[in-house]
């Protein structure tokens, strides 16, 4: 039985409110919550989340009334420089823990004393690569599902480590924008790559949780096996509030020969490039591309190595008309295996189309309708008794309640 | 422009009224008109214009003054505030989100830790110059406090004109400034001899086209979380 969203939210907020709040120095605790319940229609094959080879979150055995997400995001101010941030909640499925965290980190943001502002994050947080998932809890304000790229980043990639950012503040020179350099060092992301290699690309909004698993058989992503830290480095540029560019390189530097009792390490490297353009207050255009590779098996022994390249891009157009928002997104994705053939090649080829309509009743209530279609061709589907090339459609009607509390 | 909180608008109004009445004998004072025209010939509105006495001109006695720089919809309101040196400025946050206002400009460095409402004491601006305001949480929030070394100042109207009344006789440096002016700051200054009575006028014609200054956008809460 799926857990009751209201009960979960209540339990989470009670837990967070227990943090002692000092009343004297303004609000210390900032809570943002989301309760998302959906009516779902899905005609695809069994979702990968339930052991199948489908690329959508729901399937004919998991449709009807579903919990989209129950989320609580907290920011607790420790002093003028440090905050503690956490995002937790439930997806209402059979994850290991009914309620789990997706992110939890400490952040230092000292006042700038010159044109450069430094920021440090320590803990577990999402990779700062998306221009689509710009809302709290790594949700997207444009639709229910995310693009294939950002779905994957939310599934397999989480930074558990530390991030440093130096941002040049254009206001210091009369320029309305910033240029930032970001770099991170992290561990516990050695299995990253296993999902894209074995399943291919997907499109949805199911992030992995920090202590849980994803899919069937359950896959965990946050494990350290080789004691080798990974890194990422990125550049971003914002011009006015109209244009933003992000480039990022990720390498988990995993030893592809490392294993533990449950998992194996995948060496995964990729480059992401994205831009968001908002020519006026109505229109948004986002493009992002990501390409990289992942491999497993000892180096220097290509016969025992499985290796694959992956690539995806998407274009998203969105328009805001008062309380209404319309979004159209087109994804293209592929993976190509180039070593370690023991069966049909794990080559994924496909594209996806999503159309979303969002309506804000007020600052709390929102209704979202989303239609998605994913076409994918993936030869290993024969193991599931499913044709290698399939079309899947999913329609979701969501009612969302959002709230913001300060203490 | 923006909807300012009525209380602060009122303070501003009273303050302007105070200047309009003046404390200097009208017989020894004249009117000064400052005119600002863009390179394309159009008037430039909402620019700061000041008349600073040079040498031994009797200034109006300095009063203890206070005004406010509001924060509404993740923007400073007004975007540009002109004050005479010695003025205290309040920074009330009337947003639903907290701000963390700072300046690292040489004319006045200060930091207001994360707050909503009116948590912090007013900040006093004693040194003439430009103070650029930022918010440590919302990088797109940019505001300006122009600290003038004179009680004779204002902003140009929609016709690009500022009229200063009751300016005592003497020599003045007339300066204009706006974040949208791209011309060299040095070229935005002219000296003027103000006679005992009558009207004098100064015109500035910009050489470079105006820079676009982005207007704040209404982003929903919780956007751009990282
Ligand atoms: Cu702010």
In this complex, the residue of A134, A135, A241 whose CB is nearest that of residue B214 is: A241
Kindly state the helix (H) or strand (E) to which residue A67 belongs, with its residue range. Answer: strand A64-77
Residues A261-286 have a mean pLDDT of: 95
Do the Cβ atoms of B98 and A27 come within 8 Å? yes
Mean pLDDT score of chain A: 92
Total structural domains within chain A = 1
Supply the pLDDT for residue B225: 61
pLDDT at B59: 63
Give me the helices (H) in A76-215, please: 148-156, 194-199
Across the interface, whether the CB atoms of A174 and B211 are under 8 A apart is answered: yes
CA trace torsion A133, A138, A142, A143 (10° rounding): 120
Q: Do B222 and A167 touch (CB under 8 A)?
A: no
CATH number of the domain that residue A144 is part of = 2.40.160.10
* pLDDT-based confidence at residue A11 (cuts at 50, 70, 90): low
Q: Which of A11-25, A26-40, A154-168, A351-365 has the lowest mean pLDDT?
A: A11-25
State mean pLDDT over A325-337.
98
Q: Please state, rounded to an integer, the average pLDDT across all residues of chain B.
A: 85
Q: Kindly report the CATH class assigned to B61-149.
A: mainly beta
Minimal CA–CA distance to A338: which of A370, A387, A294, A369? A294
pLDDT beyond 70 at A23: no
User: A18 versus A185: which is more confidently predicted?
Assistant: A185
C-alpha–C-alpha distance, residues B31 and B45, integer Å: 20
Q: Name the nearest CA neighbour of A254 among A245, A265, A243, A262.
A: A265
Residues in B touching A242 (Cβ below 8 Å): 214
Quick one: average pLDDT of A157-177?
95
Question: What is the reported pLDDT for A24?
Answer: 38
Q: Which residues of A touch B109 (CB under 8 A)?
A: 113
Using the predicted structure, report yes or no on whether residue A191 has a pLDDT greater than 70: yes
Residue A333 phi, psi dihedral angles, 5° rounding: -150, 155
Write the pLDDT tens digit of every residue in B177-215. Answer: 999 999 998 899 999 998 888 889 999 999 999 998 888
- Calculate how far, in angstroms, residue B187's C-alpha sits from the geometric centre of ligand 1: 34
Predicted pLDDT of residue B4: 41
Q: Tell me: the pLDDT tens digits for B109-156?
A: 999 988 888 889 999 999 999 999 999 989 889 999 999 999 999 999
Q: Give the range of the structural domain holding residue A203, as residue numbers without chain letter.
A: 5-406
CB atoms within 10 A of CB A382: 13
For residue A99, the SS3 value is coil
Q: Are A145 and A151 in contact (CB under 8 A)?
A: yes
pTM of the model: 0.88
| Residue A346, pLDDT above cutoff 80 | yes
d(CA A260, CA A22): 45
Which chain B residues are Cβ-neighbours of A128 within 8 angstroms? 226
Residue A25 C-alpha to ligand 1 middle, in angstroms?
A: 17
In chain B, which residue's Cα lies nearest the Cα of A83?
B114
Query: How many other CB atoms are there within 10 angstroms of residue A204's CB atom?
Result: 22
Report d(CA A199, CA A218) in Å as an integer.
13
Per-residue pLDDT, B218: 72
CA nearest to A131 within chain B: B224
Domain ranges in chain B are 27-59+159-190, 61-149
Answer whether residue A84 shows pLDDT above 60: yes
Instruction: State whether A406 and B98 contact (CB < 8 Å).
Output: yes
Of B134, B218, B220, the CB nearest to A141: B220
Residue B60 token pair: 């109006």
Interface A-B, measured as beta-carbon pairs within 8 A, has a size of 88
pLDDT digits (tens, 9 = 90+) for B62-114: 667 889 999 998 899 999 999 999 999 999 999 888 899 999 999 999 999 88
SS3 B223: strand
Which of helix, strand or coil describes residue A50? helix
Structural tokens at position A228 = 């080798």
pLDDT above 90 for A155:
yes
Question: pLDDT higher for A304 or A202?
Answer: A202
The pLDDT, as a whole number, for residue B61 is 63
Q: In chain A, which residues touch B (CB < 8 A)?
A: 25-27, 30, 32, 73, 77, 80, 109, 111-114, 117, 125-126, 128, 134-138, 141, 167, 169, 171-172, 174, 176, 178, 238, 240-242, 278, 281, 363, 402, 404, 406
Cα A28 to averaged position of ligand 1 atoms, centre (Å): 15
Cα distance between residue B152 and residue A293, in whole Å: 66
């Amino acid at each position: 039985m799926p857990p009751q969203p209201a009960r979960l939210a209540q339990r989470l907020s009670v837990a967070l409110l227990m943090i002692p709040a000092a009343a004297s120095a303004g609000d210390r605790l900032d809570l943002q919550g989301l309760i998302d319940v959906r009516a779902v229609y899905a005609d695809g094959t069994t979702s990968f989340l339930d052991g199948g080879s489908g690329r959508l979150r729901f399937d004919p055995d998991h449709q009807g009334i579903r919990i989209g997400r129950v989320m609580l995001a907290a920011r607790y101010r420790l002093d003028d420089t440090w905050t503690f941030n956490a995002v937790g909640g439930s997806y209402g499925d059979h994850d290991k823990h009914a309620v789990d965290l997706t992110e939890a980190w400490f952040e230092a943001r000292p006042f700038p004393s010159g044109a450069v502002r430094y920021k440090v994050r320590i803990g577990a947080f999402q990779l700062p690569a998306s221009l689509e998932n710009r809302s709290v809890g790594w949700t997207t304000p444009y639709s229910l599902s995310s693009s294939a790229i950002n779905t994957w980043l939310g599934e397999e990639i989480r930074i558990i480590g530390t991030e440093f950012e130096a941002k040049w503040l254009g206001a210091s020179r009369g320029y309305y924008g910033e240029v930032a350099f970001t770099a991170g060092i992290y561990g516990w992301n050695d299995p990253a790559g296993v999902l894209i290699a074995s399943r291919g690309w997907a499109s949805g909004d199911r992030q992995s949780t920090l202590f849980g698993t994803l899919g069937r058989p359950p896959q965990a992503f946050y494990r350290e096996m080789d004691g080798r830290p990974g890194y990422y480095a990125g550049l971003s540029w914002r011009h006015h509030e109209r244009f933003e560019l992000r480039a990022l390189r990720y390498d988990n530097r995993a030893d592809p020969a490392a294993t533990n009792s449950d998992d194996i390490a995948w060496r995964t490297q990729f480059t992401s490039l994205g831009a968001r353009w908002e020519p006026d207050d109505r229109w948004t255009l986002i493009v992002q591309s990501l390409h990289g590779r992942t491999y497993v098996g000892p180096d220097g022994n290509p016969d025992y190595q499985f290796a694959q390249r992956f690539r995806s891009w998407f274009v998203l157009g969105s328009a805001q008309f008062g309380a209404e928002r319309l979004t159209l997104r087109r994804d293209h994705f592929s993976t190509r295996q180039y070593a370690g053939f023991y069966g049909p090649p794990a080559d994924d080829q496909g594209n996806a189309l999503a159309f979303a309509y969002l309506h804000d009743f007020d600052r709390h209530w929102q209704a979202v309708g989303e239609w998605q279609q994913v076409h994918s061709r993936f030869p290993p589907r024969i193991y599931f008794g499913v044709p290698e090339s399939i079309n899947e459609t999913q329609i979701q009607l969501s009612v969302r309640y959002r709230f913001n509390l300060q203490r | 422009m923006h909807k300012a909180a009525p209380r602060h608008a009122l303070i501003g109004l009273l303050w302007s009224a105070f200047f309009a009445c003046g404390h200097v004998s009208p017989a020894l004072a004249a009117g000064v008109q400052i005119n600002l025209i863009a390179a394309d010939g159009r008037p430039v509105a909402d620019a700061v214009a000041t008349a600073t006495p040079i040498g031994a001109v009797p200034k109006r006695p300095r009063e203890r003054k206070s005004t406010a720089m509001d924060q509404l919809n993740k923007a400073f309101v007004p975007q540009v505030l002109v004050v005479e040196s010695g003025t205290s400025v309040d920074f009330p946050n009337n947003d639903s989100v907290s701000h963390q206002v700072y300046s690292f400009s040489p004319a006045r460095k200060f930091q207001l830790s994360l707050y909503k409402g009116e948590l912090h004491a007013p900040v006093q601006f004693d040194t003439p110059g430009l103070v650029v305001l930022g918010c440590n949480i919302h990088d797109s929030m940019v505001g300006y406090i122009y600290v003038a070394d004179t009680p004779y100042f204002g902003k140009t109207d929609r016709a690009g004109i500022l009229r200063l009344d009751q300016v005592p006789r003497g020599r003045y440096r007339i300066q204009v400034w706006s974040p949208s002016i791209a011309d060299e700051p040095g070229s935005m200054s002219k000296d003027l001899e103000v006679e005992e009575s009558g009207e004098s006028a100064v015109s500035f014609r910009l050489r470079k086209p105006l820079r676009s200054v982005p207007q704040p956008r209404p982003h929903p809460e919780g956007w751009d979380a990282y």
